[in-house]
Amino acid sequence: VGTQAQAKTYTIATDTTFAPFEFQAKGGKYKGIDIDILKAISKKENFNYKLKAISFGAAVQQLSANQVDGVIAGMNVTDERKKTFDFSNAYYTSGVVMAVAKDSNVKKFSQLRGKTVALKTGTAGSAYAKSIQNKYGFKIKYFNDSNNMYNDVKVGNSVACFEDYPVMSYGIKNGIALKIVSKQYDAGDYGFAVKKGKNAELLKKFNAGLKAIKADGTYDKIINKYLKSDQ
């Protein structure tokens, strides 16, 4: 007795709304691919966690300020972020796309000139749009969450937004009145992040757990639950 170490409790930040990776079910409880993956991995690796749902930009900031232990939020592993964070092995492939209102005739970046583009603070989509802003001459309006960004495009204040392909296509299938008009631009795969040089044990557990849930079919079950049977 007393020799077994207590299971540790980590604070893990996630996005407020980023279906199918994280979103609130009826009653306010969070569900989604990220949430289920984290839960399954924590069981395999015997750790506890408190989920903290905040805007993606805030999650990334709090991780770099050491206020949370990890972030799982459909976060792309990028070279830029690797300067500040350590990432797990990738668990999902994604790319950035441009989306416009369903009835819009905008389909090329050149049609953005002089118009306003809606972006979500701190995201790979916003970094991509910033990288082409000078060339195409558009204005930028920032949002803290995906739903408000989509809505600004839907009501016509902004002509386009930049979002992750799996999230945008899931949203459109589930009734968001936008359409995807570009190819996918590479932004790096999704990984779980900790602050660089911190929480190495948690990262190790995440990787070991990810390997285990891939091997025993749990990972596929989670993906199918949200991306096959749902649609």
Binding site for ligand GLN (CB under 6 A): 15, 18, 56, 73-76, 120, 123-124, 164
Tell me how far, at minimum, the Cβ of 114 lies from ligand GLN, in Å.
26
Indicate the residue among 72 and 222 with the shorter CB distance to ligand GLN. Answer: 72
Residue type, 148: N
Tell me how far, at minimum, the Cβ of 81 lies from ligand GLN, in Å.
8
Tell me how far, at minimum, the Cβ of 159 lies from ligand GLN, in Å.
20
Indicate the residue among 93 and 110 with the shorter CB distance to ligand GLN. Answer: 93
What is the DSSP secondary-structure string of the chain?
Answer: ---SPPPPEEEEEE-SSBTTTBEEPTTS-EESHHHHHHHHHHHHHT-EEEEEE--HHHHHHHHHTTSSSEE-SS-B--HHHHTTEEE-S--B--EEEEEEETT----SGGGGTTSEEEEETT-HHHHHHHHHHHHHT-EEEEESSHHHHHHHHHTTSSSEEEEEHHHHHHHHHTT-SEEE-S-PEE---B--EEETTS-HHHHHHHHHHHHHHHHTSHHHHHHHHHHTTT-
Indicate the residue among 75 and 112 with the shorter CB distance to ligand GLN. Answer: 75
Q: Which residue reads 């589930």 in tokens?
A: 174
Tell me how far, at minimum, the Cβ of 155 lies from ligand GLN, in Å.
21
Residue 14 and residue 72 in contact, taking contact as beta carbons nearer than 8 Å: yes
Tell me how far, at minimum, the Cβ of 98 lies from ligand GLN, in Å.
14
Indicate the residue among 19 and 45 with the shorter CB distance to ligand GLN. Answer: 19
Indicate the residue among 45 and 95 with the shorter CB distance to ligand GLN. Answer: 95
Indicate the residue among 45 and 81 with the shorter CB distance to ligand GLN. Answer: 81
Tell me how far, at minimum, the Cβ of 190 lies from ligand GLN, in Å.
7
